[in-house]
Structure 1
Amino acid sequence: MRAVLEQVHKALEDAIAGQRRVELRYIDDAHYRLFEPYVIHVLTGIHRVVSGVQVFHPVDSDMANTWGCLELAQIRDVREIDEAFMPHRGFSSFAVERYQNVTAAVDRKKVA
């Protein structure tokens, strides 16, 4: 289980560095979600999460184009797709300072 968590973490770090969208699937989910990862950080001291924009959810359309935090331990598969994204104009690299133990964050100044 730990090896999968580390693979998920590395795949999301790579996607953040390249500002690439990913398809990811939760452990208990049969479908992939399209997600723009912005920040990997620790929530409440113990949970590694990725924050970003869920662009598409195959089952719940209300979940599309919403900001959210997804727990890395609940993700079983990440596929980076060849599709860059521009950071949302509402996202600030300075806002990253409010997160705990950030391991990766989108560079707001970088042009995709």
Structure 2
Amino acid sequence: MRLLIALMISLSFPAFAQHEAHTGHVTATRGVPLTEGTVKKIDGTAGEIVIQHGQLDSIGMPPMTMAFGVADKSWLTKLKAGDKIRFAAEIKGGNAIVSRYEMAK
């Protein structure tokens, strides 16, 4: 499953990633749109959060349930399965991460 996700990300990366001109790596931007999602699982050992989410235009992902890394590992102690969130997803080091989130209203 992770291989399939990695392949999908690598194929969509050039079309959707925003790059810094001088370094060539993805930048974290406030302009990345927030997407609705439901936390399905927190995996503190792996440093990941599993989210059932809608369309992620920022990384070219259709609606699905998948694992994400997080920009701040302390979030893993603040969230729990069942939480409704709005989050921004970006590609960092070839992996999909949650770069920011807020609790859904």
Q: Same fold (TM over 0.5)?
A: no
What is the TM-score when the length of structure 1 is the normalising length?
A: 0.36
Structure with greater contact order relative to length (CA < 8 Å, sep ≥ 6):
1
TM-score by length of 2: 0.38
Greater share of residues in strand: 1
